[in-house]
Amino acid sequence: MRASALLVFASVVAAIPQSKGTGGAGTGAVPPAKGGNGANKPGTGAQVSNDLQEKECKDIIFIMARASTEPGNMGGTMGPQICKGLQQAYPDRVACQGVGAPYSAGLMDNVQPKGTTTAAIGEATKMFKLADSKCPKSVIVFGGYSQGTAVMHSAVSALPAPLKTKVLAGVLFGDTRNKQDKGQVPNYPKDQVMIFCDQGDGVCGGALRVTSAHMVYIRNGDGPKAVAFLKGKLDGGLAAGGKGERVRIF
């Protein structure tokens, strides 16, 4: 992806009204949608979630890598939407964990050979391994938006085989690695990942050609579709037991 294309990316992002939120300055964030009482609707606005790092284990762990320039560690768009949807589907059984520093979601990081930085991939990998070591009987699902999809492509594809069996499914929006990796996460079952790529979203074609279609996932109904996909995989899910046996948790 060429640096000149980032100027187009930056112009699209800059055209979006900015908002401040938890854990970030809000540059390039999608503005929070307001409900009838003026409050933020669930799944919009910046958000930080460190359930895996800071709280007790849950049956399901959702790990999210946000889009470029999104604040917090979940971002203010798809991350909170998917987290909220899963928590509604499985009350008190879902821990949501965003990929934070050293993943900065910086705009220029998109031009790296893997579409993000080595440090970002390392931090995502660290979260998967923490889920495995801290919560050995939990199952894992993941999500990524824009640059966050590149983070997940590299992190998930390189996970150790025993850990990879506990990663039941993933959802990716505006996948910047879609063409390069042939519509799938390498070294991971294709049918366990749903990739949302609007036909007008230029990044899905292998170049950093960002159009307004790169933002459609936020409000076009793909969020609920992604939750339904994850739920379908989770309902039949198996988690690894403490000594390698398989234990059904649903």
Percent of the chain scoring above 90 in pLDDT: 50
Contact in structure between 41 and 75 (CB atoms under 8 Å)? no
**Taking the domain 3-16+42-248, which CATH number applies?**
3.40.50.1820
Residue that the structure tokens 């403490």 belong to: 242
The mean-pLDDT minimum among 21-35, 61-75, 188-202, 210-224 falls in 21-35
Q: Rounded distance, CA 236 to CA 66, Å? A: 27
Judged on CB neighbours under 10 Å (0-12, 13-18, 19+), 115 is buried
Domain borders along the chain are 3-16+42-248
What's the mean pLDDT when you consider all of the chain? Answer: 78
Strand intervals (E) in 134-240: 139-145, 167-173, 193-196, 238-240
Please state the rounded mean pLDDT for residues 116-128: 94
- Read off the pLDDT of residues 123-142 as tens digits, 9 standing for 90 and up: 999 999 999 999 999 999 99
- Read off the pLDDT of residues 67-114 as tens digits, 9 standing for 90 and up: 988 889 999 899 999 999 999 999 999 999 999 999 988 788 778 878
- For the annotated catalytic residues, the residue numbers are 146, 201, 214
